């Protein structure tokens, strides 16, 4: 590798690792903006063709039905969101994201696509941890490939943020990279022990379990609901 690029890469890795939470998220959002500008098809990582069928399969397995209201938290460029919008009835999809580039791209995609815009999805830019303005508790909250990028304090605060919009009937599904200990796999890929994900959720009255089965991903799928509710996993 070109030595200048190698040094830049090491520096970036170091800055992301030592940045306080808000700065980390600001840097991460700008990194996503840059990736969207360079190649929107790969801005969220793996290609849509590989990821969207898996996500639509597991949310349906977990009970998402077309008449239900979905919050796609960290919706990005609608890599998977466009398939969920197609599956859901009109007015049932809300997507939020902290990357202006991703949200602008998503809004443009909806505006250019008649079958998507007919479903009147709501896609919004949000600040990290902001109170979400939803007319009702969603039936389903999806965080696909979002906690995979959240450092510990951000993951804790995000669970707290989500807990505030959850109702008795809300199913929460999130994915995470899991390993023996907490740590960075790369500048923006973070792994957690399974027990830590569950404990952070439990501290917010959310009961999560791993979804059994081989879903063809390197991420673990967690699902559940408010502790003691009918959506509680297990
Ligand atoms: C890897 S992408 C996944 C996008 C989409 N869920 C998918 O699977 O196609 C992760 C997205 O989560 C967003 N994100 C990360 N932290 C967030 C937060 N605290 N609030 C809202 N969005 C967030 C990022 O900006 C990014 O667009």
Handedness of CA 152, 218, 73, 27 (dihedral sign): positive
Crossing angle of helices 100-112 and 21-38, rounded to 10°: 40
Measured in Å, residue 48 CA sits from the centre of ligand 1 at: 15
* Contact partners, residue 190, CB within 8 Å, separation at least 6: 147, 148, 149, 150, 151, 152, 155, 177, 182, 183, 184
Radius of gyration of the chain (CA): 17
* 24, 74, 201, 212, 234 from 209: Cα distances, Å: 28, 21, 10, 9, 7
Q: How far is the centre of ligand 1, averaged over its atoms, from the C-alpha of 101 (Å)?
A: 12
Q: In this structure, are residues 110 and 117 in contact, taking their beta carbons and an 8 Å threshold?
A: yes
Q: Which two tokens stand for residue 140?
A: 């389903």
pLDDT at 232: 65
C-alpha pair distances (Å), 182 with each of 68, 90, 185, 196 = 35, 40, 9, 8
pTM here?
A: 0.95
Report the pLDDT value the prediction gives residue 202, as an integer from 0 to 100: 98
Indicate the domain borders of the chain.
Answer: 20-226
- With a Cβ cut-off of 6 Å, ligand 1 is lined by 29, 32, 44-45, 51, 73-76, 79-80, 96-99, 102, 126, 128, 144-146, 149-150, 158
- Regions of the chain short of the pLDDT cut 70: 230-234
For 106, counting Cβ atoms within 10 Å of its Cβ (0-12 exposed, 13-18 middle, 19+ buried), the class is buried
For residue 9, the CA-to-ligand 1 centroid distance in Å is 22
Q: What percent of the chain has pLDDT over 70?
A: 98
- Cα–Cα distance measured from residue 121 to residue 103, given in angstroms and rounded to the nearest whole number: 12
What would the two tokens of residue 132 be? 């979400």
> Domain 20-226 carries which CATH code?
3.40.50.150
Task: Let me know: does 148 contact 190? Beta carbons within 8 Å.
Answer: yes
């Amino acid at each position: 590798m070109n030595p200048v690029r190698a040094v830049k890469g090491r520096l970036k890795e170091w800055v992301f690792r030592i940045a306080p939470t808000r700065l980390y998220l600001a840097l991460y959002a700008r990194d996503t903006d840059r990736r969207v500008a360079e190649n929107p098809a790969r801005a969220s990582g793996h290609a849509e063709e590989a990821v969207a069928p898996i996500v639509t399969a597991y949310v349906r397995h977990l009970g998402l039905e077309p008449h239900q209201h979905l919050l796609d938290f960290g919706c990005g460029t609608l890599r998977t969101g466009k398939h969920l919008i197609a599956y859901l009835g009109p007015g049932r999809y809300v997507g939020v994201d902290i990357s202006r580039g991703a949200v602008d791209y998503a809004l443009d995609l909806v505006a250019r696509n008649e079958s998507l815009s007919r479903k009147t999805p709501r896609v919004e830019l949000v600040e990290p941890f902001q109170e979400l303005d939803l007319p009702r508790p969603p039936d389903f909250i999806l965080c696909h490939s979002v906690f995979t990028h959240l450092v510990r304090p951000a993951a804790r605060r995000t669970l707290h943020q989500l807990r505030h919009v959850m109702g008795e009937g809300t199913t929460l599904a999130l994915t995470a990279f899991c390993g023996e200990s907490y740590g960075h796999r790369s500048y923006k890929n973070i792994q957690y022990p399974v027990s830590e994900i569950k404990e952070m959720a439990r501290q917010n009255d959310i009961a999560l379990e791993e979804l059994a089965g081989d879903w063809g991903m390197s991420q673990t799928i967690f699902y559940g609901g408010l502790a003691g509710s009918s959506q509680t996993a297990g």
